[in-house]
Amino acid sequence: MRKNAISLEVLVKRAPLAFLALASLTLAACSSGGDKKPDSARTEAGSTTSGADLTGAGATFPFPLYSRWVSEYQAATGVKVNYQQIGSGGGIKQLQEETVDFGASDAPMTDAEIASAKGGPVIHIPTVVGLVTIAYNVPQISQPLKLSGPVAADIFLGKITKWNDSRIASLNPGVTFPNTDILVVHRSEGSGTTYIFSDYLASVSPAWKASPGKGKELQWPVGLGERGNDGVAGRIKQTPGAIGYVELAFVTQNRLTAAQLQNATGQFVAPSADAATAAADAAVGKLPANTDYRVSIINSAGSGAYPITSFTYLLVYQHMTDAAKAQKLRDFIKWALTTGQKDAVTLDYAPLPSTMIPKLTAKADSISGGGAAK
**What's the pLDDT score for residue 284?**
81
Q: What is the CATH number of the domain that holds 269?
A: 3.40.190.10
Is pLDDT of 236 > 50?
Answer: yes
Q: Is 21 in the same domain as 102?
A: yes
- Region 312-322: mean pLDDT is 96
Higher pLDDT among residues 205 and 280, named by residue: 205
Angle between helices 149-157 and 192-204 (to 10 degrees): 120
Tell me which of 275, 301, 334 is where a domain ends.
275
Q: Is 231 in the same domain as 326?
A: no
- Region 51-63: mean pLDDT is 90
Q: What percent of the chain has pLDDT over 70?
A: 85
Q: Is 22 in the same domain as 56?
A: yes
In a domain, 361, yes or no: yes
**What's the pLDDT score for residue 89?**
85
Q: Is 112 in the same domain as 141?
A: no
Residue 112 one-letter amino acid: A
Give residue 50's pLDDT band: very low, low, confident or very high (50, 70, 90). Answer: low
What is the domain extent for residue 255? 132-275
**What's the pLDDT score for residue 210?**
98
- Region 256-267: mean pLDDT is 97
Long-range contacts made by residues 47-53, C-beta under 8 angstroms, separation at least 24? 47/99, 48/84, 49/82, 49/84, 49/100, 51/80, 51/82, 52/80, 52/81, 52/82, 53/79, 53/80, 53/81, 53/325, 53/328
How buried is residue 295: exposed, middle or buried, by Cβ count under 10 Å (0-12/13-18/19+)? middle
In a domain, 294, yes or no: no
